[in-house]
Amino acid sequence: MAFIHRSASYTTDDGTRLNNERLEYLGDSILDSVISEYLFKLYPYASEGFLTKTRARIVNRETLNNLALSMKLEDLIVSNISPNGSSRNLYGNALEALLGALFIDSGYKRTKRFIIDRVLKNHLNLSEVIEGEMDYKSLILEYGQKNRFPVNFNISEETDIETLKISFSATLIINNEVYSTGLGNSKKEAEQDAAFKAWTKIRSAT
């Protein structure tokens, strides 16, 4: 069931509709939990901000899609949609559904071992993930465009009286709602910080 996309759903004799959406929901939660603990132990002196950003880079759609493709899960997916750019997420979704199925079949400990030993260590270059800079502003703008939400960054500038150092604050407003406020030494840095906080909020709500 983990590899049946909703476009290929079928109904059993008792009326049950089968596809991988519920397993995907479960696997997403399991993955977040395992990655959080894994990074917490791997980087014992890292800040909360570093751990949160690294986790977000690992569990974002594009990384999960690439992990699924590296694992050749596309050969197992049952779908009635043509493969194109807009359908790439079905690969990452199938990976999450697989993790949800493993959790149901084998429990948390074995699923955790599978994620760390079979997925992360074999198919993810963690150094590249950490060094790579995710463009969260572009993700937010794309999100706004896709949902037809207006997206605005309101920038304010402050100067420290003692050091005369200039810092920036960016308030991110999506669809007339304040989503987050970011800080930085430049306008770009403040916008990226605000976009990252908003993207984390959006992802946790989906």
Model confidence at 53, pLDDT cuts 50, 70, 90, reads confident
Reported as a single tens digit per residue, the pLDDT across 94-110 is 999 999 999 999 999 99
Which residue would you say has higher pLDDT here, 118 or 185?
118
Determine the pLDDT at residue 60.
Answer: 83
CB atoms within 10 A of CB 11: 9
Domains, the chain, in order of start with CATH, read 6-131 (1.10.1520.10), 136-205 (3.30.160.20)
Angle between helices 48-59 and 187-205 (to 10 degrees): 60
Q: Is the pLDDT of residue 83 over 70?
A: no
User: Scanning the structure block, which residue is given the tokens 């690439």?
Assistant: 66
Phi first, then psi, for residue 148 (nearest 5°) are: 60, 40
Catalytic residue numbers, as ranges: 28, 96
* Rg from Cα positions in the chain: 20
Model confidence at 85, pLDDT cuts 50, 70, 90, reads very low
Nearest to 78 by CA among 22, 19, 25: 19
Phi first, then psi, for residue 18 (nearest 5°) are: -105, 125
CA angle, corner 43, sides to 42 and 49, nearest 5? Answer: 130
